[in-house]
Amino acid sequence: AGEKLRDLGLTEELRVRHCFVKSPVFPFSKFRGVDTILGPEMKSTGEVMGVADSFGGAFAKAQMSAGVRLPRAGTVFISVNDEDKAAVVPIARDFLELGFHILATSGTRQLLVEHGIAAEPVLKVGEGRPHVVDRIKSGKVDLVV
């Protein structure tokens, strides 16, 4: 089972100055004409890792390595829980400055509008139709936060 780091004299805590993001790679190109919504039995065919000085940079590198095209414009859907609402304001502002149209559920939208960030309201599933999943399935959402 290996040896404990303490037994090897490695007791000093190391500080890592980079962010690392691991991403699965799915063989969707092999499934032409098949619904690619992932079920519990779907397995990835490998993994890639993005390394950068920031989470955003590492995430972008991992996605690009996995063959996922990150949009440079379009509509971003933003919905976060109450604990994360303050942290999402600068992220939403960045998307707005990049030219993205913001779509948000009621609580998130209210916070964004209070901070001067324009956001279009969208219903949660169960609040009526069309809801956010309808918008995603229709191809009207380019990115989800």
The highest-level CATH class for domain 71-145 is alpha beta
pLDDT, one tens digit per residue, over 52-81 is 999 889 999 999 998 888 899 999 999 999
* Residue 42 pLDDT > 70: no
* Residue 139 pLDDT > 70: yes
Task: Break the chain into its structural domains and give their ranges.
Answer: 13-69, 71-145
Report the percent of the chain where pLDDT is more than 70: 87
Supply the pTM of this predicted model: 0.70
Mean pLDDT score of the chain, rounded to an integer? Answer: 88
Q: What is the pLDDT of residue 30?
A: 62
Tracing tokens 């890592």 back to the chain, one arrives at: 16
Higher-pLDDT residue of 106 and 38 is: 106
pLDDT bucket at 36, cuts 50 / 70 / 90: low
Q: 77: burial class by Cβ within 10 Å (0-12, 13-18, 19+)?
A: buried
Alpha carbon distance 36, 27 (integer Å): 10
Structural Rg of the chain based on CA atoms:
20
Mean pLDDT, rounded, for 91-114? 95
Report whether 45 contacts 27 (CB < 8 A).
yes
